[in-house]
Structure 1
Amino acid sequence: MATQMQWFGRTRNVGKRSKKYLEEALYRRLFRDGGCQELNVRQQLNHFLKSRKRVFKWEVGDTLRKLRDRGLYFPALKLSETMSMRGMNKTASDQAIHLDLVAKAKGIVAAENYFISLPDAFKNHLTYGALLNCYCKELMVEEAEGLLAKMKEVDLGLTSMPYNSLMTLYSKTGQHNRIPGIVQEMKSNQVMLDLFSYNVWMRALASANDISGVERVIDEMKRDGRVAPDWTTYSNLASIYMDRGMSVKAERALKDLEKVNNRKDLSAYQFLITLYGRNGNLLEVYRIWRSLRLAFPKTANISYLNMIQVLVKLKDLPGAEKCFKEWESGCPTYDIRVANVLISAYAERGELEKAEELKERARRRGAKPNAKTWEIFLDYHHKKGDVKSAIDCIANAISIGRGDGGKWIPPSETVHELMGHFEQAKDVKGAEGFVELLKKGVDNVGEEVFEALIRTYAAAGRKDPTMRRRLKMEKVEVSDASEKLLREICVEGN
């Protein structure tokens, strides 16, 4: 036990600990230099683990939370596993977090096996709830229902959380009609509904177009007294009204949203701006924007992004440009996402020169075009019939990839139309070059692309004795019509 306390002391005073300990908080070590890039985090984690330096338990908990929030599940799992081997005394809550990490990093079967391996003392509402949540995220309805039944059987003293997970699962799988039954079961079992329960119930009734039922839920919350509607409740209510064209009731709900936002939540302001924008009320959009700026003088990039998006959708381009210039003059980091909104607006209006100029200005400020930037220009050039420029945009987007590190894939409709252009132009060289480009972005370009390529060869009267071999290597099976064309373009016997 003494060894464990040496490794995982309770004090949070990092600066005064001995040289045996890491000289800084663990999460700061992992996120230094490369920010939140997974490769950098993994390298820093390996350096820490090899060093055998000690850390406090609270640091491990904080670090695991930050890694999970950033979607860095593999490094988080490795840290959790290694700290266990080094003597960290895990609570049931720690085991629940570990189980969630196993599911995200290794899959649901590994999470099930981990749960089975837990001592009975750790099989409580926390670990059962973690596994239930995993089933719900994987949309495994039967497994989730079976596990909840088991939780009732072993009498865990259920709270609203497992019921909320199941209701969310039903919502995601389109089984909204089953949610009112879960609510009634909670009431019968004396399980108190929380805000999340009420909000999911509201949305389920809205999906059935039962607006009077939605309003009864709000009234029930107010009568209950234990759970008061918050800004998310009124945000949901306003959105429900807007979906049905009930703009007057929607604006009343937005006024209620403002009243309950006494803690001046940034997200609440942003939802107000978005929802007033959806309702077409430009004056209210500007009024809430002024309130947001007063509440948050150091206004974040995300707030400017949201405001400029709303102004562009409301066709207030001068207002969007003014807001953009205000952001641009004071932003600590130039966010390409904000610039993309105006670039897109210019492109849609056919003002390519303005769009290009803004892209270059962003580049000079250190914000390189991302895949979305090139998507905007791709859409413009494609509509104009400028095939060369469109393909250049695709090449740039593929080379950059998505922001989450994944591959960027061009829209299938665009690929189809570009391959059709090459076929019509009998341009075999262009088609082949485009296919090679697509292979850089996707693992399998598919039979549709290869069939278009075959038709291009046939239209141009060109032969390719290797085509069948290529199709076999790509594991592509073509239609009877394409097979007929293959006999024309392939040398006999190949």
Structure 2
Amino acid sequence: MLLQFTISQSPLQRHHIPLSFPSGFLSSTFLRTVRGHKNPVVRCSASQVRSHRAGEYGRRRPISKWSGIFKRISLMEDPEMGAASVLNQCEREGKRLTKWELWRIVKELRKFRRYKLALEVYDWMNNRVERFRISTSDTAIQLDLISKVRGILNAEDYFLKLPDRLKDKRTYGALLNAYVQAKMREKAESLIEEMRVRGYAMHSLPFNVMMTLYMNLKEYDKVDLMVSEMTEKNIALDIYSYNIWLSSCGAQGSVEKMEQVFELMKQEGTINPSWTTFSTMATMYVKLGLLEKAEDCLKKAESIIPGRDRIPYHYLISLYGSVGNKEEVYRVWNAYKSVFLSIPNLGYHTMISSLVRLDDIEGAEKLYEEWLLVKSTFDPRISKPFS
């Protein structure tokens, strides 16, 4: 499962810095990308529980029609009919759906934040217990979806009614994640104590979730306490632990401590800094007015962008805008367009916001006109800089 890192709200709206955790527990998106109109300020927020990549579903990949069914669900003219209406119709058409296909549909719906529809797919499976075996990973995903769609109280109630065989580190972790999303500190602290007693807090993930909570509450000393506990218990810090710790140091205005943590990460030997690591440090350097160091980090981040990932380009454009380097903003934008045939609304929003921040109103208006020609859906956020 995974957690994700976040940078403060700005053109990066609704996107997350991808920080995947080892499969089998909570999902991401724990450090989520927070977006900010000015300097993207790193904070953390718990995110969705994702399915395990190498679990019971990852081992078998049958040829299936799941993508067509996903499109039928996501593009329903009347979403109120619910995902069940599409699934029932598919079976009437002679398509006997497998659990792997349904899991894959859920995964894709969650990817696009269609949480209500994803939960409806699980509801449909739950009504067919004779066909679909529900695992603890499934219950963890459902708990996460319930907290997002129906609220934390319903998620709690769902957890309490689960049989003991479906309560393990995954479901406990999902509930902890939900408490952190809701910023319910007392319940989160009580639950992680219970997880310690049960032996479910013997790896980095639950500590990363709690550090996310303390980052959101600006209780940076508690972040340090979590790191100390992990060290005392010989629980290895992972890339996400280090990224949160770096953010905490930067948020406290301690460049020296942030750089010491970065050196510790490198000395670990088994952890390679990711583009997220460098963009996080760049964000902190921008916040502290150390623009040369920020640009150096941005160049390192750009050099290790993985595969065809759009989100790093959004961060680079936004952060170069915060640094005040218009030339680099345009260079990254042109590189972005050379890699991808089409640019989503979020890309144009990021670029236009950066140009407005740089007082390049003429350039921003040209980009806006370009967006009008290529847009597939209207995004009111893009016109905000001109309001």
TM range (shorter): 0.7 to 0.9
By how many angstroms is 1:80 displaced?
1.5
Q: Which residue of 1 aligns with 2:69?
A: 26
The one-letter code sitting in structure 1 at the alignment partner of 2:83 is L
SS at match of 1:304: helix
Establish whether residue 62 from structure 1 lines up as the match of residue 104 from structure 2: yes
Match of 2:143 in 1: 99
Say whether 1:197 aligns with 2:247. no
The residue type equivalent to 1:42 in the other structure is E
Separation in 2 of the partners of 1:241 and 1:131? 34
Q: 1:276 aligns with which of 320, 323, 347?
A: 320
Give the unaligned 5+ runs of structure 1. 1-9, 16-22, 35-39, 346-375, 377-494
Corresponding residue number in structure 1 for 2:128: 86
Distance 1:153 1:224 in 2: 29
Letter paired with 2:157: N
Unaligned runs of 5+ in 2: 1-59
User: Distance in 2 between the 1:122 and 1:187 partners?
Assistant: 30
Match of 2:118 among 76, 97, 100: 76
| Residue equivalent to 2:335 | 291
Residue 335 in structure 1 maps to residue 373 in structure 2: no
Alpha-carbon distance change, 248 to 339 in structure 1, aligned in 2, over 3 angstroms: closer
Corresponding residue of 2:4: none
Conserved 8 A contact 2:176-2:188: yes
Offset, 1:49: 5.9
C-alpha contact (below 8 Å) 1:205/1:211 kept by paired residues: yes
Return the alpha-carbon distance in structure 2 between the equivalents of residues 255 and 24 of structure 1: 37
Counterparts of 2:300 and 2:338 in 1: how far apart (Å)? 20
Counterpart-to-counterpart distance in 2, 1:339 and 1:254: 25
Q: Which has the higher helix share?
A: 1
Matches within 5 A, 1:32-431: 32-34=75-77, 40-48=78-86, 51=89, 53=92, 54-87=96-129, 88-156=132-200, 158-261=202-305, 263=307, 265-329=309-373, 331=374, 333=376, 335-337=378-380, 340-341=383-384, 344-345=385-386, 376=387
For the residues of structure 2 that align with 1:299 and 1:71, how far apart are their CA atoms? 19
Does the Cα contact within 8 Å between 2:64 and 2:101 map onto a contact in 1?
no
Q: What TM-score, normalized by structure 1, do the two folds share? A: 0.60
What is the CA deviation profile of residues 67-125 of structure 1, one whole-angstrom value per residue up to 9, with x for unaligned ones? 43444444433432331221210111011112222333333333233223323222211
Shift of 1:304: 2.4
**What is the CA distance between 1:239 and its match in structure 2?**
1.2
Q: Which has the larger radius of gyration?
A: 1
Residue 158 of structure 1 and its aligned partner are, at CA, apart by: 2.5
Distance 1:177 1:91 in 2: 37
Distance 1:251 1:76, change over 3 A: closer
Residue identity opposite 1:246 in structure 2: L
Q: What's the RMSD between the two structures over aligned residues?
A: 2.5
Could you tell me which residue of structure 2 aligns to residue 384 of structure 1? Answer: none
Between the two proteins, what is the percent identity of the paired residues? 34
Q: Structure 1: how far apart are the matches of 2:201 and 2:211?
A: 18
Structure 2 Cα separation of the partners of residues 150 and 289 of structure 1: 48
Amino acid in structure 2 at the alignment position of 1:216: Q
Q: Distance in 2 between matches of 1:31 and 1:249?
A: 44
Q: Report the Cα distance in structure 2 between the residues aligned to 1:133 and 1:240, rounded to whole angstroms.
A: 26
Aligned residues of 1:136 and 1:169 also touching (Cα < 8 A): yes
Distance 1:89 1:237, change over 3 A: same
| Higher deviation after alignment, 300-309 or 226-235 | 300-309
Shift of 1:204: 1.2
Matched residue SS, 2:256: helix
- Structure number with the bigger relative contact order (C-alpha 8 A, sep ≥ 6) is 2
After TM superposition, the score normalised by the length of structure 2 is 0.75
**Pairwise CA distance, 1:332:** 5.1
Residue 74 of structure 2 aligns with an amino acid whose one-letter code is F
Contact 1:221–1:227 (CA under 8 A) maintained in structure 2: yes
Aligned CA distance change for structure 1 residues 188 and 293 (closer, same or farther; 3 Å): same
What whole-Å deviation, never above 9, does each CA across 1:354-380 have from its counterpart, x for those lacking one? xxxxxxxxxxxxxxxxxxxxxx3xxxx
- Separation in structure 2 between the aligned mates of residue 251 and residue 99 of structure 1, nearest angstrom: 41
Post-superposition Cα deviations, 1:23-60, rounded to whole Å, max 9, x if no partner, equal: 984322212343xxxxx233153424665644211222
Take 1:305 and 1:112, find their aligned partners in 2: how far apart are those partners? Answer: 37
Deviations 1:140-163 (A, max 9, x none): 112111111111111236221111
What is the CA distance between 1:295 and its match in structure 2?
1.8
Kindly tell me the number of residue pairs found equivalent between the two proteins: 322
Residue 317 of structure 1 deviates from its aligned partner by 2.2
Partner SS state of residue 235, structure 2:
coil
Q: Is the 8 A contact 2:326 2:358 kept in 1?
A: yes
Q: CA distance change for structure 1 residues 223 and 304 in 2, over 3 Å: closer, same or farther? A: same
Q: Distance in 2 between matches of 1:317 and 1:172?
A: 34
CA distance in 1: counterparts of 2:324 and 2:180, whole angstroms = 37
Shift of 1:65: 2.7
Sort the Cα spacing of 1:104 and 1:293 in 2 relative to 1 into closer, same or farther, 3 A: closer
Counterpart contact for 1:301–1:338, Cα < 8 Å: no
